[in-house]
Structure 1
Amino acid sequence: MTPIITVDPAGQATEAATPGKPRGAVRALAKRLHFYAGVFIGPFLLIAALSGALYALTPALEEAIYSKELRVPASQSSVPLAEQIRAAQQIAGGQAPAAVRPAPRPGDTTRVMFTDPGLGESESRAIFINPANAEVRGDLTVYGTSGVLPFRTWIDDLHRTLLLGDAGRLYSELAASWLWLISLAGLALWLTRPRRKTPKKDVTARTRTGRFNRGGLAKVHGTGGVALIVGFLFLSATGLTWSGLAGNNITSLRSALNWTTPQLPTTIDGADASADGVQQPHHGGGTPTGTSMDPTMYDHVLAAARQETIIEADKIEIKPPAGAGKAWTVTEIDRSWPTQADAVAVHPATMKVTSKLVFEDFTLAAKLTRWGIDAHTGVLFGLANQLVLALIALGLAGSIIGGYLMWWKRRPTRGTAWAVGRAPSQRFLRTSPWPLTATVAAVAIAVGVFLPLLGISLAVFLAFDVVLSLIKNRPQTGK
């Protein structure tokens, strides 16, 4: 069949895909998905991109905002950890710490962390101590395993929930659910783009029209999107792991495939108990409840853990036993490259290591999960990681804005008031072979079940498309 030559809005002749063949049908479907998702999901993606770019740059801002709490004059000597903990307890009313993070390097502060029923989930109260003289440097709320400070927590909440709580998580899940599909649809359009038939004499005329006509915008939009597509797919995949509905499905899938992250055993084996069957804590130790905890236990536990060659990181967290029959834990929390995430459990009575967790022994899936989360939050490769994240996020924002400009330039200047622009041609169902149609339908249903917000919104788009087609194709009555 002879190819069809069309003229695009910029006045350039192009060779369109031949209708009735799979390539043309796939292009029509990709165009439809890219158009509707771009128009209606674009605002959610734009907010996520801009807030994500800001979040990626917050570590440097955090260092400046909280320099008093985070930094002290460097000193090669320090007081015992127990003395630092007692200084923090005086501020916290004598409460036993929930965790302690010793100063990793000279010039850093120690964090003594306490639970507080008035704080939210995953939040704790941190007292910052100068390790050289046990001076209290600050009292802040920290969030999550990474211990981010209030400003970054606010940006993170804006990025994840629009400051709307659990209901706001639907916005970020919707954006992450569609980002990969919009990106792949855009890639399909770029790969199947028609070959240009522009005569040489038209090159000068085309140049005069400027880079920001629709043709120029389309070129920048397409090329930029393809250049950043790996980053878009990465942000979508890792972002979905934190989502509500899809995140639960991802967790179930990981469990079924045995891709979960191993956990450190902390239950003390009966054989490790004292001879009379009752654990007799040495060094004034035991399980801390309320204020009944000897801070010197932290020094003893840290010394026992350091004897194990696997605990080598400067950044560590020490946690007391979670209850009777449980061990102390010492965990490496350095998430930069190479990742240091080893952990040991220490018996509260004998100060012996009862179990170990070595990151090198993790499955590849568990390692990829750890690295993916750390890269998404900008800590895996430090400043370079943060700058790349910001570049990808700003590139996504620019792509969305460029897409809206293209849509606006394509709008009809005459016609009905509601016709602010025309969607791409509805050709997929008319031109695709039935096996392709059935395959696409089956994949769409499966993906929609696994990613519920994607499935629901896709059904809404389909219904809207059908109604719009019926309105436009309804029989014209006499005027």
Structure 2
Amino acid sequence: MTNPASTGQGTVSGTGQSDFYRAVWRWHFYAGLLVLPFLITLSITGALYLFRDEIDSFVHADLKRVAIQHAETVAPSQMIAAALDAQPGQAVKFTDPPRPDASAEITLTTAGNERVTVYVDPYDGQVLGALPDRGTVMWTVRYLHSLRYFGPFARALIEIAGGWSILLVGTGIFLWWPRGRKGGVVSVRATPRRRVFWRDLHAVTGLFVGGVIVFLAITGMPWSNVWGGKVNEWANGSNFGYPSGVRVDVPMSDQKLNDTFKTSWVLEQARVPESVAADGAAQAIGIDAAAAAFDRLGLHDGYVISLPRSPSGVYTGPVYPDDLHQQRVVHLDQYSGAALVDMGYDDYGPAGKWLEFGINTHMGQQFGLANQLLLFAACLAIVAMSVSAAVMWWKRRPARRLGVPPVPSDPRVFRGLMAILILGGLLFPLVGASLLAMLALDWAVRRLSGGKPQIRSA
């Protein structure tokens, strides 16, 4: 953002008001310095991931797409047998085709303890090929989006970036406020050769996309390490990790749902029930009977069946379609086929429902194509904002200087701003820690510069 007091775009009246403007501008600069590289990366990977099904179906068409036939599909056990013939190992998961033109997926563990997904034509049971589990191009994009490839420290940086993004929007709106200006409020002036063009592009784009940035930052927080983990514990309640108020009156194992497969955020801590054989000689019902039971219970197409791995294991059938109300997790006793736990979105508590709604919208699922297109446009706008901020800074920075906005003449104006920043730090612990680091940096910059402005006027 530019300083109206120095650019002729308006006047900040009064020394106190001018000092407060400088303080906000200074912290907007720091927030941008920290956040913009992450915003660009998150926006590009997020824009791609919005169309994950479409992109994966195109890139991996030979594995994921089949010709629709007017015939019954073969039994899951037959598809699993074909997969094991092609890739020896132990089957751990069967994924029902989500659409008539989609293949079935059998996930297995090899002798080398590696996970492989084998794709099978559900109409004739022929193996189409295999990939490492979560080896599709969209799983790669997802891991890049979350920085999972770079370890827990890098993932913690996303939590920090999310909190500072909210600060960036709040200070940006304050800096954008017209204060008597007419140009550059909702329109872009001049040409790309002039700095005012990049200032207006940054400010006006931020005005329209700021709310989306805040929404994405807040709804992305549940996946964070520190804040997300604590809120997850609170939202789950205390009843075996299931939402508060839901009675789970069956024997439970120590295994969590998230240890077996990717589940909904609310149920990550939920424990898996145990099968109990009334007779020691009882036989498991088998995958075909389990699939038939899930069909009778009305699970949405595309459900997963996690196979029991011990005498007390269960058949677990989770499904997470775009429609939140169709989200469901069912556990079947492997001997009787009875549903031990049948949990859906409508069973979640108020906090769980709101968090899942936010996550679903964040991923572009809740409102169909409109949801995807809106967030895709927002991602492009965020990249444009980030690029315009970098260009604007480059055009105004002094030679061989960082170009930090000027220090207010009265340091007391920082008190109100600091109170807001500290409140944000208490809500988001990692953001608070980074705030202390930025305060130390600001103190060092002021000492080195002798408190003199580091930005030249327009």
Give the TM-score of the pair, scaled to structure 2.
0.80
Would you say the 8 A contact 2:26–2:404 is kept in 1?
no
| Secondary structure at 2:133 match in 1 | strand
Counterpart in 2 of 1:461? 438
Partner of residue 419 from structure 1, selected from 388, 401, 420? 401
Amino acid at match of 2:147: T
- The change in CA–CA distance for 1:25 and 1:426 in structure 2 (over 3 A counts) is closer
Counterpart in 2 of 1:16? 12
- Between the aligned partners of 1:261 and 1:36, the Cα distance in structure 2 is 34
- The change in CA–CA distance for 1:117 and 1:197 in structure 2 (over 3 A counts) is same
**Equivalent runs, 1:189-200 vs 2, <5 Å:** 189-191=175-177, 193-196=178-181
Structure 1 vs Structure 2: percent identity of aligned residues?
Answer: 24
Counterpart in 2 of 1:154? 140
Counterpart in 1 of 2:305? 318
Would you say the 8 A contact 1:32–1:426 is kept in 2?
no
- Between the aligned partners of 1:269 and 1:474, the Cα distance in structure 2 is 70
Amino acid at match of 1:181: L
| Secondary structure at 1:107 match in 2 | coil
- The change in CA–CA distance for 1:304 and 1:251 in structure 2 (over 3 A counts) is closer
Counterpart in 2 of 1:133? 124
Q: How many Å apart are 1:279 and its aligned residue?
A: 4.6
Q: How many Å apart are 1:228 and its aligned residue?
A: 0.8
- 1:377-414 per-position Cα deviation (integer Å, ceiling 9, x unaligned): 334444443333322222111111111222223234xx
Counterpart in 2 of 1:84? 79
Would you say the 8 A contact 1:76–1:106 is kept in 2?
no
- Between the aligned partners of 1:195 and 1:118, the Cα distance in structure 2 is 70
Would you say the 8 A contact 1:265–1:345 is kept in 2?
no
- Between the aligned partners of 2:451 and 2:100, the Cα distance in structure 1 is 76
- The change in CA–CA distance for 1:386 and 1:27 in structure 2 (over 3 A counts) is same
Would you say the 8 A contact 1:6–1:13 is kept in 2?
yes
Counterpart in 2 of 1:307? 296
- The change in CA–CA distance for 1:6 and 1:234 in structure 2 (over 3 A counts) is closer
Amino acid at match of 1:429: P
- Between the aligned partners of 1:65 and 1:174, the Cα distance in structure 2 is 34
Query: Is structure 2 residue 408 aligned with structure 1 residue 407?
Result: no
| Secondary structure at 1:14 match in 2 | coil
Would you say the 8 A contact 1:48–1:175 is kept in 2?
no
Counterpart in 2 of 1:202? none
- The change in CA–CA distance for 1:332 and 1:42 in structure 2 (over 3 A counts) is closer
Name which of structure 1's ranges 341-350 and 398-407 shifts more when overlaid on structure 2.
341-350
Would you say the 8 A contact 1:57–1:387 is kept in 2?
no
Would you say the 8 A contact 2:28–2:168 is kept in 1?
yes
- The change in CA–CA distance for 1:246 and 1:353 in structure 2 (over 3 A counts) is closer
Q: Where does structure 1 lack aligned partners over 5 or more consecutive residues?
A: 144-148, 199-205, 287-296
Name which of structure 1's ranges 257-266 and 178-187 shifts more when overlaid on structure 2.
257-266
- Between the aligned partners of 2:357 and 2:111, the Cα distance in structure 1 is 32
Greater gyration radius:
1
Amino acid at match of 1:196: R
- The change in CA–CA distance for 1:194 and 1:118 in structure 2 (over 3 A counts) is farther
- 1:339-386 per-position Cα deviation (integer Å, ceiling 9, x unaligned): 421232222222222332132222232123223333333344444433
Query: Is structure 2 residue 376 aligned with structure 1 residue 390?
Result: yes
Amino acid at match of 1:419: R
Q: How many Å apart are 1:57 and its aligned residue?
A: 4.1
- Between the aligned partners of 1:255 and 1:214, the Cα distance in structure 2 is 50
- 1:69-95 per-position Cα deviation (integer Å, ceiling 9, x unaligned): 1111111322222211111121232x3
Counterpart in 2 of 1:376? 362
Counterpart in 1 of 2:69? 75
| Secondary structure at 1:156 match in 2 | helix
Counterpart in 2 of 1:332? 319
Would you say the 8 A contact 2:43–2:383 is kept in 1?
yes
Counterpart in 2 of 1:203? none
| Secondary structure at 1:241 match in 2 | helix
| Secondary structure at 1:98 match in 2 | strand
- Between the aligned partners of 1:342 and 1:421, the Cα distance in structure 2 is 53
Q: Where does structure 2 lack aligned partners over 5 or more consecutive residues?
A: 245-264, 453-458
Q: How many Å apart are 1:119 and its aligned residue?
A: 7.2
- Between the aligned partners of 2:153 and 2:112, the Cα distance in structure 1 is 21
- The change in CA–CA distance for 1:409 and 1:80 in structure 2 (over 3 A counts) is same
- Between the aligned partners of 2:219 and 2:101, the Cα distance in structure 1 is 34
Q: How many Å apart are 1:303 and its aligned residue?
A: 1.7
Amino acid at match of 2:57: E
